[in-house]
Structures are given as structure tokens and as C-alpha cells.
Amino acid sequence: MCDRTVQFSVLCSMLEAVARSKKPALKRKHFRTFFDHVYCDREFFSALRLILPSLDRDRGTYGLKEAVLAKCISDALGLSKESEDAKKLLNWKKGGSSSVGNFPLVAAEILYRRQSASSGYMTIKDVNDLLDRLASAENRDEKTVILSELISKTNAQEMKWIIMFVLKDLKLGVSEKTVLHEFHPDAEDLFNVTCDLKLVCEKLKDRNQRYKRQDIVVGKPVRPQLASRVAGVDDAWKKLKGKRIVAECKFDGDRIQIHKDGNDVHFYSRNFIDHKEYTEGMSAIIIDHVKIEKCILDGEMLVWNRLTNRFAEFGSNQEVAKAAKDGLQTDQQLCFVAFDILYSGDTSVTHQSLSERHLLLKQVVKPLKGSLELLLPESGVGPDNQPCWSMLVYSPEEINKFFLETVENRDEGIVLKDLDSKWEPGDRSGKWVKLKPDYVHAGSDLDALIIGCYLGSGRRGGEIGQFLLGLAERPKHGGYPTRFMSFCKIGSGLSDDERDVLVSKLRPYLRKYEKGSKPPSFYTVTNVAKERPDYWVEQPDKSFVLEITSDIRTIKSEVFAAPYSLRFPRARRVR
């Protein structure tokens, strides 16, 4: 059987069984049975691209998240905006459904009453063809027409899974690694060095035939080597003690893999996406300053400000890339910081030690200040008082000193690497470890008042999952503050029990936000959509203060009324 003959309902039944199963062994058995007894002609890609949608590079993005998908489904069903079902779809987080907070289930409840109970008899190929059309559709109207066709040819259970495919979240309780291993024991290794699910399916059709490990090639993105978290300097030292260690500044940019083959240059993200928007701003520099025809560089794409002679804050990459594409002259330019080389000339060099790869990187790349930089021990550019970017360290004290210097310089943190380690795609075994300000207690916490509440999704669907916090404005004539400006949103740090007790105490003083209504007069807010809570705390004197901690660095705020907000805030306790 192949995708032209296998009924989509068979795949849905298997996924339902996996989702219901509690034991990992039983989940694996369902996959194994499906692969061994359903796809007899070994055409696996059409099914695996649905089971693992986030690994499928052959289909474009749908451009549909829950909010837009709700409107499209509502239109496809011909629902009035004022109908109860339309409101349930659009307010899937807020109640009115037994599946509140889980959009696919909310949609399925509504579809059950409007679709046939029997299967629509679509094949897996039929579904993939329609999903290809959905991804290619250029506007909401076109997407609505295709969703309408899908609804007419499926039942509610099948449509639920299609919605999950579109959202790329199947909630199966198994990892990508598990699914790939059940497909073939060598599937993960091959995917790690090609990031090509279709190629994996074509080469590994026979589970009983082992595949010789393939090396990386130019033009195929590779899963990046990853750094594991550590809680502090002492923890990092324990993991790497006795090894030769290099400490590197962790820049706050986009992790990018540059593949150069002559004049052909690609910029792959850690999600295997080729960022063509970097072509105009960076390709010529890579072609001119990388001395060999073929290579793969691993590094960080950032923005360099020529006026301040330092990197710009995170978030401006796309804007600067667009300016370069449009031929606009600005004070900012793209800058790639290379910290590793994976391929050189005609061979992979991942088997070499990091120290050997550092030497090769220095030989292969000719740096260009502010455009193409190397992250090598004792390197660094900019003003004299800017700390170096990378250095060899021999004690916890040296690690701590380097870490504090990077934090002072408003960088993202540091990465510590074993200089004798080989490069392993997807590896997070501890050869690299990262230390960031938000992993370390800053020593000075902040108190903020809860002024609003947000409904959660998933496990906390229909319940309050996050809080809007405000800072006290200084009273004009002394005394206690009576006004508070919105400052940040927080959702982590408290246990379930602590959160439940807090919410129960707040509930009598909550007022539901209604469209067009004004916030309580005690609060200074921007009232933009990302700030606006589902509930306001009507009386600040009845609210509670949270002690919060965060990344040591602040960020300029466009969402909240306070000029600055926090990165990764979390609650430490209720005051």
C-alpha cells in the first residue's frame, strides 16, 4: 500500500491510539505496526511529513496560527460572527467549551455537529495535495476555500488532526527522536547531517538494512551542536574540570550556518530555513573573504552599528537585511561572527578537535571589521573598553570574571567549550555548556503589583496562566502610590498550588475585559493587543505584590507603559 491507496483515516486512527496510550513502549508499538504493516511499498515520506510536520522542508509555511485559523474555519462553515460557535472558535482560550485552551479540540467539537460521522475516504496523498495548496495560498480567502474543501471531505476527527498538522503540534507525548528511531535506527543520524526528511525516507526504506553514517555536505543544512544549561560557574567547572576550556561570548543574534559553494551562498537557521533575505547584505562579503570554494561556517548573524562601533540590540536583523536588499544606506549593517568551521575544501572537518578547527577557521576566513568576524581566543573589536569575545580559562575565578564582563557589556552570556571535543550534530551532552544571566540569580529582585490576568492554553486552558505586572508611579505629594504603569507579563516561577491560591484570592476583584472598555483609572497602560489582559484587577489595594527576577539586562518596551521591561521574568514568591 502507498499514499495513493492508504486511507487518511488509518493514519488518524494510529495517531489517536498513540495520543491515548500512556506507556512509551505502547506508543512506539503503534508506530512500528504502522510502518511495518501499512506502508508495504516503502513510500514513507508522505506519512512522516504529517507525523513530523516541523521537520518537513518540502512544504512551505501555512501562515496560519490559531487566531487566523479560527476566522478561516468560521468562514468556511458559514458561521455568523455573532453565533455561539463562531465566538467559541475566536475565544478558544476563554471558555464556552469543554476543551477550552486546546484549539484543535474546540474546533473538533464544533465540527462534530456539522460534519458527517463517517470518514470522507480521502487518501494520504489527497490530504498532502490539499495541504500543499493551503501552504501555497496567498491570502485568507484562498486558504478559506481550501479549508472548506477539506471540511467537506473529512469527518471531525480527521479534521482535528489536519488542524494539528497546520499548527505543527500533534501533542502525541513522544519526541521526534523516538518517531525517527521507530522508522529506522539510523534515521536520526542521517537527518542530523542532512535536515532532509524526504531524503531520509528515500534512503532508509528497509529497516533491517543498516546505513553507513553519512558525512555532512555543502548545501544540506546540519543540525547544530548545542550547549547544555548550567546554573552557575561552579556547575560549569564541575562539568568541564580537567579539560582545556575556551570561554566565548554568547551573542544575541540568529544562529546561522553559512554554506558556500563557489558563488552560491546559503544562510540556514537552526530550523533548516534558508534565509535568503541575507543574500544582498552578506553573500558578496562571504564570496570575497572566504578563501576556499567550498565550506560550511557556523556562527551568529548580528547587526553592527558603525556609529557606536558595536553590535546593535537583538531584533533588528530583518530590518537591516531589508534595507540592504532595497539598496538603502544606513548606519547599520549585517555582521556574521563565525565561531566554527564544519567543512573545508572537499571534506568535512567535524572529526577534528575544536582547537584544530579554530586554526583552520583562521586560515580560511579573512575577517572584515563589522561585517565578518571570527570568534577565536583573545579576539574582540570595538572601543578599547569592550571586553574580548573569547579567551582560554583555567579556573572558576577566570570564568566568573569573563561572565561578569559580558553581562556588563549587555551580551547574552557565555558558552564554555571543550577544546578537544569533536563536532556532533544535535549533541547536547555537555561538551559545550552555556551560562546566561537569566539562569543565575541576579542578587537584586524587584517587586511589582499584579494589575491584570491572562488566560492560559494547553494544560492551563480556560484558567489564569499569566499576570500583567505594574510598577508604582512616584506620588506627587508623598505618601503611598496610587497609580501603576504596566511593566511586564509573567507566567513562570510559581508552583501550581501557589498559583491556584493566588488566583482564588484575586478572583473576587477581577473584571473581565470587554471590547471597547477602558482599564481601571489606577493604571497607566498602552492598551495594545499584546498588553491587554483578559481580566483587570479592579482595586490595586486588593491585589498582591510578586517578587520577580529575570535576565539581568532590561529591554526597551513598545508593549508596556514603562519605557523598559524585563527579559525572561519569573516570579520568586508572593509578597
- Run of H or E residues at 339: strand 332-344
Distance CA 56, CA 275 (A): 16
* 250: annotated active-site residue: yes
Q: Is 161 left (phi over 0), alpha (psi -120 to 50) or beta?
A: alpha
- For the beta carbon of residue 347, count every other beta carbon within 10 angstroms: 11
99 close to 133: Cβ distance less than 8 angstroms: no
Which of 58, 70, 81 has the alpha carbon at shortest distance from 107?
70
Q: Cβ neighbours of residue 13 under 8 Å, at least 6 residues apart?
A: none
Q: Return the C-alpha cell found at 165.
A: 498538522
Helix and strand totals (H; E) in the chain: 18, 22
Q: What angle is formed at CA 419 by the lines to CA 413 and CA 424, rounded to 5 degrees?
A: 85
- For the beta carbon of residue 306, count every other beta carbon within 10 angstroms: 12
Distance CA 158, CA 552 (A): 47
186-193 CB contacts, 8 Å cutoff, 24+ apart = 186/210, 186/211, 186/213, 188/426, 189/213, 189/214, 190/214, 191/55, 191/223, 192/222, 192/223, 192/425, 192/426, 193/217, 193/220, 193/222, 193/223, 193/425
Strand, helix or coil for residue 89: helix
Which of 27, 143, 250, 431 is catalytic? The answer is 250
Q: Which residue has the cell 576566513?
A: 365
What residues does 254 pair with on adjacent strands? 301
- Run of H or E residues at 354: helix 354-364
Q: Between β-strands 432-435 and 390-393, what pairing exists: parallel, antiparallel or unpaired?
A: unpaired
Q: Which residues of 181-220 are buried (b: 16+ CB within 10 A; e: fewer)?
A: ebbbebbbbbbbbbbbbbbbbebbeebeeeeeebebebeb
Distance CA 225, CA 418 (A): 13
301 close to 334: Cβ distance less than 8 angstroms: yes
Distance CA 109, CA 530 (A): 28
- Run of H or E residues at 413: strand 413-418
Instruction: Show which residues are catalytic.
Output: 250
